[in-house]
Amino acid sequence: MRTPIIAGNWKLNLTLAEAAALAAQLRDAGAGSVGREVVVAPVFTALAAVAAALKGSGIKVAAQDLFWEGRGAYTGEVSAPLLLDAGAEAAIVGHSERRQLFGETDEGVNRKTRAALAAGLLPIVCVGETLAERESGAVEAVLGRQVRGALEGFAGDRVAALAVAYEPVWAIGTGRTATPAQANEAHAFIRGLISSGFGATVSARVRILYGGSVTPATVDELMREPEIDGVLVGGASLKADSFLRIVNFRA
């Protein structure tokens, strides 16, 4: 059995005080003790405060990105060792917004994933197609390129230690959601890619999350699908009540 991951990506939202307050609400509600792995990803400036608020709660703190070098002349970047120092235990890598808005490449995702694993962070590696790519029948080609690019050169034990998030770009922030069957089909394809590259034992251990406008109204049906091992939540993770409902999904 793969332990589900319920991850909240707070994106560019919440001040330090707001982030710490939300973390305290989740902690006090016992979100970290429900038999699933709960992760929240605040902005860099709030990482340490959120980590302090969640200490001992069982809820993990993730960074929304990282750089592959540990130190040096890289103005504006944040490294894995610095994230660890701030209390992070995981890092989102290759989110579609990073790819679309900031030129993230498959090669860069590979290097960032490698750096996260080397530092002991759990990488949540994001892949997914645009609407144009889906409508043109290129879903498998896009996912194949992104998954292979992210994991090229990795040993099987390294791959087994990470998570993948399938986020159809056309369903992020749009209110549209892939049907559970569509999501499960994409997850099964991704697992097949991992199996062909690293073996069935490794692919059986990798947790694959769905991330595309997940809400309290959609999470139960999504989590009933056999290949969906959790969710990466955006807007619905910014309010304690809605995120707690997702954490306590009923599958």
Catalytic site positions: 95, 167
Q: Which of 47, 55, 59, 49 is nearest to 20 (CA)?
A: 49
CB 168 within 8 A of CB 178: yes
DSSP calls for 222-242:
HHTSTT--EEEESGGGSSHHH
DSSP calls for 76-131:
T--BHHHHHHHT--EEEES-HHHHHHH---HHHHHHHHHHHHHHT-EEEEEE---H
Give how far Cα 185 sits from Cα of 55, 56, 105, 137, 222, Å. Answer: 37, 37, 25, 14, 12
First to last CA, the chain: 14
Alpha-carbon torsion (181, 151, 93, 251), positive or negative: positive
